[in-house]
Amino acid sequence: MTRDAERDDDALRQFVETLALGLADMGWQRMAARVFAALMVTDSGRMTAGELAAMLSVSPAAISGAVRYLDQVGLISKERVPGERRDSYRVLDDMWYASFLKQDRLLKLWGETADEGIAVLGEHTPAGKRLAEMRDFFQFFAKEMPLLFERWHARRRDTG
């Protein structure tokens, strides 16, 4: 019994690291990725900073930085139960939505960068045209991504 529980616990921690590694490869800060992964595999979807520090074997200071970042980008929320001294952190249901809104903003930024380049190169040069194509590409995706996300939401309403 104890053996099984321990084995499960190990498997769980290992999966947290796997998931976090994947997120880190996507460009997330490592600690933020580990915290997010830890919250994802919790049934309640909530943990205190202390619990997170214990689960991940890191100092409270490291947790502090990670949760601030995750909160800023809208992937988790900070909550304090009245009459508790400790903050809880919770994974948000619409976390993917937040992450895609962010991408949308980035795509727009790329369009602007391309425009800068076109101004320097001249829009009728081959290089200028190449950048114009890049700009169009990003604009296209900036427009389509939110629509795509809408469809995902709609589908989830129907299925789940």
Which residues in this chain contact a copy of itself in the complex, by CB under 8 A?
8, 11-12, 15, 18-19, 22, 26-27, 40-45, 91, 96, 106, 109-110, 113, 116-117, 120-121, 125-127, 130-131, 133-134, 136-137, 140-141, 144, 148, 151-152, 155-156, 160
Choose the contact partner of 102 out of DNA, a copy of itself, none; CB within 5 to 8 A by kind: none
Q: In the window 49-68, what residues touch DNA (CB under 7 A)?
A: 49-50, 57-65, 67-68
Nearer to a copy of itself, 83 or 126 (CB): 126
Nearer to a copy of itself, 65 or 140 (CB): 140
Q: Is 86 in the site for DNA (CB under 7 A)?
A: yes
Instruction: Give the chain as a DSSP string.
Output: -HHHHHHHHHHHHHHHHHHHHHHHHTT--HHHHHHHHHHHTSSSSEEEHHHHHHHHT--HHHHHHHHHHHHHTTSEEEE--TT-SS-EEEE-TTHHHHHHHHHHHHHHHHHHHHHHHHHHH-TTSHHHHHHHHHHHHHHHHHHHHHHHHHHHHHHHHHH-
Contact footprint for DNA (CB under 7 A): 29-31, 48-50, 57-65, 67-68, 78, 80, 82-87
